[in-house]
Amino acid sequence: MKYQLDSGWLAGARRVPSPHCNDRPEGCPVDLLVVHCISLPPGEYGGAHIDAFFLGQLDIDAHPYFAEIAALRVSAHILIDRNGVVTQYVPLDRRAWHAGQSEFNGRCNCNDFSIGIELEGLDTDSYTDAQYAALAEVTAAIQAEYPRITRDNITGHSDIAPGRKLDPGPGFDWQRYYRGLDQVCE
């Protein structure tokens, strides 16, 4: 499915607005795409816990792990679930809270200038065909709006927060992602 941007939102995606966002610094161009993974509880797929987490509404009684993270105020712009369903939480022109302490090419605070995409997954697992297909389509739509996000400016969370983050992990096939992008852009 092709996606188009409409005032910062992907038309055709599920839309679940998160309060976990703020304005980007003035005059700060968006030129980085960060690929992440998340699953809640870790390693369990499906369900509504990721939505709840990014909305600050995680039910701490639903799983012991949730008590550890429920107070965190985080978000991503976009989530792609195991079936390739795309959900957007934060408009792309606003600053989502996905990268944390981070650095890309000598620039800190990557949330200021990046877009964060979460793949439902685990950094020790692989990803689904539907996720690669949706990720390529979403990336192409983002690049059409933000041409500074060239292939060199697409990175993993583990690359901008080394030693602290492992996602999306070795199971994420970057070459496959690039081939998918080539096909979408043909």
Q: Residue 123, interface with Zn ion (CB under 5 A)?
A: no
Structure tokens of 149?
Answer: 């996000």
**Residue 12 or 171 with smaller CB distance to Zn ion:** 171
Q: Give the CB-side neighbour count of residue 78, counting CA atoms within 13 A.
A: 31
Which of 118, 120, 137, 186 is the catalytic position? 118
CB of 8 to Zn ion, least distance (A): 21
168 or 180: CB nearest Zn ion: 168
Q: Which of 134, 157, 160, 181 binds Zn ion (CB under 5 A)?
A: 157
- Residue numbers 22-61 binding Zn ion by CB under 5 A: 36
Query: Could you give the CA distance from residue 140 to residue 184 in angstroms, rounded to a whole number?
Result: 7
Contact between 120 and Zn ion per CB under 5 A = no
Locus of tokens 């950094």 = 123
CA–CA distances in Å: residue 92 to residues 12, 109, 163, 184 = 15, 16, 27, 21
- The least CB distance from residue 147 to Zn ion, in Å, is 24
Alpha carbon dihedral 113, 114, 115, 118, in 10-degree steps, equals: -150
68 is catalytic: no
Q: Which residues are catalytically annotated?
A: 118
